[in-house]
Structure 1
Amino acid sequence: MTQGPLRITVLEGDETGQELLEQSLRVLAPDVVAMELTLDTYDLSLARRRETGNEVVHEAARAMRESGFGIKAATVTPEGKDDVGSPNRILREEVDGKVIVRTGRRIPGITPLGGTFHPISVVRMAVEDAYGAEQWREGTEGAPDEVAFRTERITRSTCRAVAEYAFRQAKEIGGKVYGGPKWTVSPVYEGMLKEEMDAAAQRHPDVTYRPMLIDATYAGLITGATETPLVIPALNRDGDCLSDLVMPMFGSIAGAESVLLAFDDEYTTRVAMAEAPHGTAPTLQGKDVANPMAMILSCAAVLHYAGVAGYEGASRASRAIYESVLEAAAAGVRTPDLGGHASTTEFTSDVVQRVRTKIEVWASLGTAA
């Protein structure tokens, strides 16, 4: 087991995102998870980012590289081109994040769209592609012949990381690798990801592989391709769009976590940062009605990777949180977005009590999760 307390870098955010972070951290109290851990907090609110010219984001990224684990609240990205922009881009680039994983899963008591009962993991590029592309226009502004350009790039190392992790994830959950880019239309650019998917399939012959063009992937998700768990490798923007489809298929975009991963040369996780895939929901701020599931599950996800890294008690705590969130929903403790009447605080309190009880019971039985 890894020695010393688990250290997690906590990245504060804006509006409802910050409120949900504060609620979710209640499940990480040492007396709840029965393990020693330390939370190092950095203020990534829009006001603080502007005040420091984004230096606080760089500080947080350096801290997260050191700790290996992070939990991030949703943050506001201002629209002005001369403003501080998105902290996500800085964090992903500075920790050398390669992959973002978002797994939609059935929420007990909620009927999924189209009878989709098996988990669906979207494994997308964390960097490159359409995000961060160079853009410019030529010609007279507003004229019919004005032309807009965008130069995108992807690297083989990122394609390889996406493909390799997708096959490892499929093996872990007993699913198949499904989908892919539009390699027929873009054999040079998008074809690079397809080449790495094919190569990964050769390295993992025991994993079912069904490559599909991105448009057919969308159609398959809606028309019943989910007879088994699916893992979908994707380009950066394709994966972003796919995630926003997959999450609501199971009831709510707030029903699952999003995890940024950085790897070593053997594709062992070096940094894991979890967050909710939704935004800051300013219309819900201060109302205590937002769904905290995704943020609480983010805590569980970070503990899962800490357990893999050898931190004692982390795997047990992770499982307790995952089970408690889903059991709470099964028992009818749900926020309004899932047809319930529980407040943010009430849902979190219910989960905290369930986690504490599970760990106490497991300890009394002398068994590990």
Structure 2
Amino acid sequence: MESHTIVVLEGDQTGQELLDEALRVLQPDVIGVELGLPRFDLSIGHRRATGNAVVHEAARAVREHGLGLKAATVTPEAPGDVGSPNRILREEIGGKVIVRTGRRIPGVVPLGGVHSPISVVRMAVGDAYGAREWREGEGDDEVAFRTERIERRICRAVAEFAFRQAERTGAKVFGGPKYTVSPVYEGMLKEEMDAAADRHPDVPYEPQLIDATFALLISSSGAPMVIPALNRDGDILSDLVLPLFGSIAGSESLLVAFDEDGHDTPSALMAEAAHGTAPSLEGKDVANPMAMILAAAALLSHVDDGPCQAAGRAIRESCLEAVAEGVRTADLGGHYGTTAFTDEVIRRTRTKLEVWASL
């Protein structure tokens, strides 16, 4: 069995419990691949104890090994506290693109015409986030200003990854920025989308303005879509798209980094579930581990290695098939606990890979 390394970023509360479930699925006797799984404790207590040094150490490990699996973590609100580990990880890993994919869960009724997967591919840096802000004047004459910026290399990374994601999943590239109103600023992303379309002529391409993208999402034919977006547009789109499937339990989030000299192959990927730490569910064996398990599967699917890709596919199919056959946690109307659901995914993954190996 060939060895690969996934850096494990531990978290808080139910987030950590669900990470542990996903790691059970990644054992070599389940997936047939030997994985190194170095662990870093990113719980809020350890982040405080180390002054965030553990976050920087974890980021270096993800950069070195190229793959990271992160549990949900608590972000304290008090000024001067340790803040969000995601910001540090994003900056130090060099993450340029965030990908969030919503997919239909069997037995869960989606909204509108949404049936096939929708991936939102957005900038991970720049745009409205991190912009310099200030105010001038007083009273009714007070004026607020903000200086935003985007970079062509980030636009190119978003566009290229969107087309490669569409190519890999049989989807169309849909949507885009409000380039008619903002041809200089938002038009930069549209230029890179058009250039990527030329490089990938076999991928269906249907550019739309961002407001039309929102409007057409619910009235679409249900075909799989990949939507490239600016940072804030994509943040809002993700919060709309994922609940369209009736639950975010089938959704994972990927942070993608690229080398400065190209955007063909990611230099690092960090995956996590799209949900939070759910403190009210901690220790009750009722939380749904599916999104965390799918995050692990997504990492394996992006590795340029046949056994890893097969394992990623087997895990993903096993999750969805289990739900289709009534193996559901309480949030999906079932009676299975966290551990029992994972046990069933493990059983199905083993069987599926054994059958494929015999064919």
TM-score strictly above 0.5: yes
2:44 alignment partner in structure 1: 46
Give the deviation of 1:147 after TM superposition.
4.4
The residue type equivalent to 2:150 in the other structure is: I
The residue type equivalent to 1:258 in the other structure is: S
Compare 174-183 and 157-166 and name the one that shifted more. Answer: 174-183
2:289 alignment partner in structure 1: 292
Alignment partners' CA distance in 2, 1:292 and 1:209: 34
After superposition, the C-alpha distances for 1:20-59 in whole angstroms (9 at most, x for unaligned) are 1111111011111122111010111112112222111110
Between the two proteins, what is the percent identity of the paired residues?
A: 69
Give the deviation of 1:133 after TM superposition.
2.2
* Mapping of residues 89-128 of structure 1, within 5 Å: 89-128=87-126
Alignment partners' CA distance in 2, 1:321 and 1:4: 18
Q: Does 1:238 align with 2:233?
A: yes
Is the 1:118–1:226 contact (alpha carbons within 8 Å) kept by the matching residues of 2?
Answer: no
TM-score by length of 1: 0.91
1:127 aligned counterpart, secondary structure: coil
Is the 2:75–2:84 contact (alpha carbons within 8 Å) kept by the matching residues of 1?
Answer: yes
Give the deviation of 1:126 after TM superposition.
1.4
Alignment partners' CA distance in 2, 1:56 and 1:67: 16
The alignment yields a C-alpha RMSD, in angstroms, of 1.8
Q: Does 1:130 align with 2:128?
A: yes
2:206 alignment partner in structure 1: 210
Q: Does 1:77 align with 2:71?
A: no
Q: Does 1:221 align with 2:220?
A: no
Give the deviation of 1:83 after TM superposition.
2.0
2:243 aligned counterpart, secondary structure: helix
The residue type equivalent to 1:347 in the other structure is: F
2:112 aligned counterpart, secondary structure: helix
Alignment partners' CA distance in 1, 2:168 and 2:250: 21
How many residue pairs were aligned?
Answer: 357
Question: Aligned to 2:327, which of 326, 333, 340?
Answer: 333
Q: 1:231 to 1:35 in 2, by over 3 A?
A: same
Question: Aligned to 1:63, which of 57, 61, 64?
Answer: 61
2:339 alignment partner in structure 1: 345
The residue type equivalent to 2:19 in the other structure is: L
1:168 alignment partner in structure 2: 164
Is the 1:244–1:253 contact (alpha carbons within 8 Å) kept by the matching residues of 2?
Answer: no
Question: Aligned to 1:320, which of 314, 319, 340?
Answer: 314
Give the deviation of 1:138 after TM superposition.
4.7
Q: 1:147 to 1:284 in 2, by over 3 A?
A: farther
1:172 aligned counterpart, secondary structure: helix
Give the deviation of 1:266 after TM superposition.
4.5
Q: Does 1:193 align with 2:186?
A: no
1:358 alignment partner in structure 2: 352
The residue type equivalent to 1:68 in the other structure is: G
Question: Aligned to 2:7, which of 9, 12, 18?
Answer: 9
Q: Does 1:247 align with 2:247?
A: no
Give the deviation of 1:204 after TM superposition.
2.2
Alignment partners' CA distance in 1, 2:145 and 2:54: 33
Is the 2:106–2:324 contact (alpha carbons within 8 Å) kept by the matching residues of 1?
Answer: yes
After superposition, the C-alpha distances for 1:235-278 in whole angstroms (9 at most, x for unaligned) are 11211211121111112112121111112414212111110011
Alignment partners' CA distance in 2, 1:26 and 1:122: 29
Alignment partners' CA distance in 2, 1:125 and 1:179: 14
The residue type equivalent to 2:229 in the other structure is: A
TM-score by length of 2: 0.94
After superposition, the C-alpha distances for 1:194-216 in whole angstroms (9 at most, x for unaligned) are 11112222222222221111111
Q: 1:212 to 1:6 in 2, by over 3 A?
A: same
Gaps of 5+ in 1: none
After superposition, the C-alpha distances for 1:322-364 in whole angstroms (9 at most, x for unaligned) are 111011110111122222222212211111111122223333x
Q: Does 1:177 align with 2:173?
A: yes
Give the deviation of 1:115 after TM superposition.
3.1
Give the deviation of 1:68 after TM superposition.
0.7
Give the deviation of 1:300 after TM superposition.
0.6
1:210 aligned counterpart, secondary structure: strand
Gaps of 5+ in 2: none
Give the deviation of 1:120 after TM superposition.
0.9
The residue type equivalent to 1:228 in the other structure is: A
Alignment partners' CA distance in 1, 2:127 and 2:10: 27
Q: 1:47 to 1:145 in 2, by over 3 A?
A: farther
